[in-house]
Structure 1
């Protein structure tokens, strides 16, 4: 995003408590002091806490590491008070640089055996502390810059959407690198219920076993960041229309936990 503004540097204040629906005007949020908070901000696009992401959208070339702290400083300097913290769910697409394997992922790679990306298969009952450490550090860092964080729990382009026309690898399929692909985990979990080679059912209630795994992961995210006061939860980025009931089930999981 091109920015055509100039702003002086200012010292950001920490966020002031969790947001709640304002009692004075329920169309808005208020902070712990009762002050109305109008959220306005930006997003980076998916490299926030995972390296080598989105291979299906990339050409071969040098790998770039995202400077998240610099991004927060820029956002705070332009008076942004909200960021969208992306999740990447597919480690690799079937088209694009083969050496761009997203890491860390949410689940541990323990094997036995290798996933379709050539690395060890995932154990969906074990979480990678490197991912969740980065998640917590990112949210805490944003808080210290006076920024609220929309924590994305699931992501449509890592499971249900192939790469579109106009990109460098049109048609690239993310499902080949997804942990819930039966070839990529040791738990016998297959979210491709109809066997069409895509993960459309991953954002549905079609498989009770998949849904229970998803709920356990959501609870892990909550355990990781819920004591921080600048957290909002987003169920999924750009999911599909039939995901409505699944999304409500994830909302209930958050509220009941």
Structure 2
């Protein structure tokens, strides 16, 4: 039977799609345990999410959880699907008449989801087993791309490229945030501390003239050693410009 990351995919499909009523004695359900796990991961990271910890938080035994969520590997898949399904809970599904605004809304919602649930950038599945949350998200995002002149395959490729851009830059942003001390707002202090030593080991200051100029400009403008959030905004802008040119070219054929 096909498996990935220790997950029985057919069993996982059942867990994802089957309704799980609350236990008559415990009061817990698949939904309540998954939401509890997501909240714990948001606060303390994915490593904090263990069956024993969740059982303690829910006031039940560990054995009481397994019928609802399977094992920890299945639970993580349930958590990812839960987060996917809540991506547009606050903003709503993109429905602006302007296709650029719809695509920007997709990028913004996915960026916000990564910031609110930073662990998802570390736990993204390989070959996805679609659950109701991920399926609803995919449907909503494809509808935002439908009717703008793309083929079905181009729609899927465009959406995958856009979400990958957002998740990649969000992952870099989260990594930078984690590397800072709690009271650090930017990288200015860190750079002031490391710059003399870096200058000394590089030696000849003309070795990397373009890199030196660009990094200095970025640091002066943002106070950051790197700026993945700015890169995301720039990437989405280029993404929209590329789509606009493709639509114009196709219209002229």
TM-score range, shorter chain: 0.3 to 0.5
> In proportion to residue count, which structure has more helix?
2
Relative contact order higher in (CA < 8 Å, ≥ 6 apart): 1
- Of Structure 1 and Structure 2, the greater strand share is in 1
TM-score normalized by structure 1? 0.32
Query: How does the TM-score come out when normalised to structure 2?
Result: 0.32
